[in-house]
Amino acid sequence: MVRIRLRRVGAKKKPVYRVVVANQREARNGRFIETIGLYNPLTDPETVEIKTDRAAYWISKGAQPSDAVARLLKKVGVLDEQGKLAAQPEAPEAETAEATEEVTEPAA
């Protein structure tokens, strides 16, 4: 089974975690398929950088997030409160094009 989990990097007593997609049977810091993010609990506020499109892709393919990663994915909006894949809102390109297109009248 493929899992989305944390991989510890960083110095002793100063952990930084990478969010990786890995086979469940591999060791914590063993082989992984893809790195999709970074989590640093030592900063204030804690730093969470996750490629939401890649996380959504792997979850749609059946990857199961660990409990800690599920909490982070809820925080960034990939998962909803029930732990299901949140609907990604489509960017309204037509509205943004109209909003940026301003007609300026020449000063008389």
- Assign residue 60 the CATH number of its domain: 3.30.1320.10
Distance CA 37, CA 20 (A): 7
As given in the structure block, the two tokens for residue 87 are: 């609907």
Tens-binned pLDDT, residue by residue, of the chain (108 aa): 999 999 999 999 999 999 999 999 999 889 999 999 999 999 999 999 999 999 999 999 999 999 999 999 999 988 877 667 766 644 445 455 555 555 566 665
Q: Is residue 95 part of a domain?
A: no
Give the type of residue at 37: G
Longest dimension (CA), the chain: 74
Q: Does residue 91 fall inside a structural domain?
A: no
What was the pLDDT predicted at 28?
87
Residue 69 resides in a domain: yes
Q: Note the pLDDT of residue 107.
A: 66
In a domain, 65, yes or no: yes
Q: How high is the pLDDT of residue 88?
A: 60
Q: Which domain holds residue 44?
A: 2-85
For residue 108, is it within any domain? no
Is position 18 within any domain?
yes
| Domain count of the fold of the chain | 1
